[in-house]
Structure 1
Amino acid sequence: MKQKSKGFTLIELVVVIIVLGILAVVAAPKFINLSQDAHDASIKSTFGSFTSGVKLYHSCWLASGKSGYQVDVSCYGDGTLDSGVTGFPLGIDTTLSESGTRLQGKFCKEIWQGLLENDEYTLESHGNNTFDKSDDIIYWYSGGVLSNANTYCYYNYIADDRTKDAKNWVLKYYPNTGKTEVEKGVLSYP
């Protein structure tokens, strides 16, 4: 009588190992990329909150019945965020804004802090050459006179990739129109 063997042959074992190896090679990049996906989701959500804050602020300004440049619009947040002449957030201490017609770099940080009531991200101005591992977002502005179409604040999220010429998520905020844009862009270091 012949005895039946139980178990795997060596060839079957090798085939199973090869199949598992192929699956690991195919699946590994997906699991490795989860960290980047988490960064992307987090900053897109925060940028979305910023955009919602701009709209809520402007609605508050409209509902107040006032027009033009306003200091300390009281119906939004803690009431310290000033508006530009078109009613969109401009900053907290805007005494140097020429009655809400000019943008300055410090205003961009004040807008961020006034619209988003959290300290989740560390902001640093673009003019500072000492970007370190604690900085999450580099901010500054382009232009100056609010009525110019190219005047905006930008917030470049560098927490996921601080290498020179890396493409990172950028939020541009145009305080004259309230428009926001989110795109991938390169931060040119000063």
Structure 2
Amino acid sequence: MQSPAIFSAKHTQPQAGFTLIELVVVIIVLGILAVIAAPKFLNLSEDAQVAQVKNTGGAFKSGINLARSVWAVKVGSGPAENLPVYGESDDAHVDFNANGWPAQHYFTDTEASPQLDNVEDCISVWQIIFQNDEPTVSDAAKADETDYKATYNSPAACTYQYSDNMNLSISYDSNNGSVVVDSDPSS
């Protein structure tokens, strides 16, 4: 028979480490949390892209409306070339079509009735509206690394696709000044 002191000493020793069952339970719980939480974290970047395009579209629409307001005050009807909208420098002049909407930005006096009729016009309207290098834009047919890719849509309309998610875009129709943001990333 064993003495009571030895028997109690064996059972009071602290346990070292985890049992296999405890480790398996922790791994299962972490796996369940990962399956539930991962889609929410993955959607955050898509949500940020949607917000970026919506904000850019809103700023673009505001710029188009500001230019239209200047045209309405200074011209009132018909086309206008080299109208100072954002200042007196050549870089701040906008060309307006017969409907009074921004159609291009070229400092020349050769076009009696400016029209938005090619991708270069789309790019020039974007650049004059934003008045800086951000967000950047380039021709969709080129491999440049820019924020948006411009394409021309006949008649007199443009689409600016967001480079990080080509399903997100901003459309501008210079016939009526409409700016539409397509912010459905799955379309």
Q: TM-score range by the shorter chain?
A: 0.7 to 0.9
User: Residue by residue, what CA displacement relative to the aligned partner does 1:78-108 show, whole Å, maximum 9, x if unpaired?
Assistant: 5311111121111112767551355232111
Paired residue for 1:116, among 84, 106, 130?
130
Shift in Å at residue 44 of structure 1?
A: 2.1
Residue 85 of structure 1 is matched in structure 2 by 98
The higher radius of gyration belongs to 2
Residue 41 of structure 2 is matched in structure 1 by 31
Shift in Å at residue 63 of structure 1?
A: 2.2
Aligned-residue RMSD, C-alpha: 3.0
**Aligned 8 A contact 2:81 2:111 in 1:** no
Query: Residue 164 of structure 2 aligns to which amino acid in structure 1?
Result: D
User: Residue by residue, what CA displacement relative to the aligned partner does 1:25-66 show, whole Å, maximum 9, x if unpaired?
Assistant: 211222233333222222221121101111111112112253
- Rounded Cα–Cα distance in structure 1 between residues aligned with 2:22 and 2:116: 74
Residue 131 of structure 1 is matched in structure 2 by 143
Residue 4 of structure 2 is matched in structure 1 by none
**Aligned 8 A contact 1:68 1:87 in 2:** yes
**Aligned 8 A contact 1:170 1:185 in 2:** no
Shift in Å at residue 178 of structure 1?
A: 0.4
Secondary structure class of the residue paired with 1:81: strand
2:51 is the alignment partner of 1:41: yes
- Rounded Cα–Cα distance in structure 2 between residues aligned with 1:185 and 1:10: 47
**Aligned 8 A contact 1:97 1:104 in 2:** no
- Rounded Cα–Cα distance in structure 1 between residues aligned with 2:70 and 2:49: 31
- Rounded Cα–Cα distance in structure 1 between residues aligned with 2:131 and 2:101: 17
- Rounded Cα–Cα distance in structure 2 between residues aligned with 1:19 and 1:183: 39
Residue 79 of structure 2 is matched in structure 1 by 69
Gaps of 5+ in 1: 145-150, 162-166
- Rounded Cα–Cα distance in structure 2 between residues aligned with 1:95 and 1:175: 20
**TM-score, normalised with respect to structure 2:** 0.74
Secondary structure class of the residue paired with 2:99: coil
Greater CA drift, 26-35 or 171-180:
26-35
Gaps of 5+ in 2: 1-7
Residue 157 of structure 2 is matched in structure 1 by 152
Query: Residue 81 of structure 1 aligns to which amino acid in structure 2?
Result: V
Shift in Å at residue 140 of structure 1?
A: 2.4
Number of corresponding residues? 171
**Aligned 8 A contact 1:73 1:82 in 2:** yes
Query: Residue 136 of structure 2 aligns to which amino acid in structure 1?
Result: T
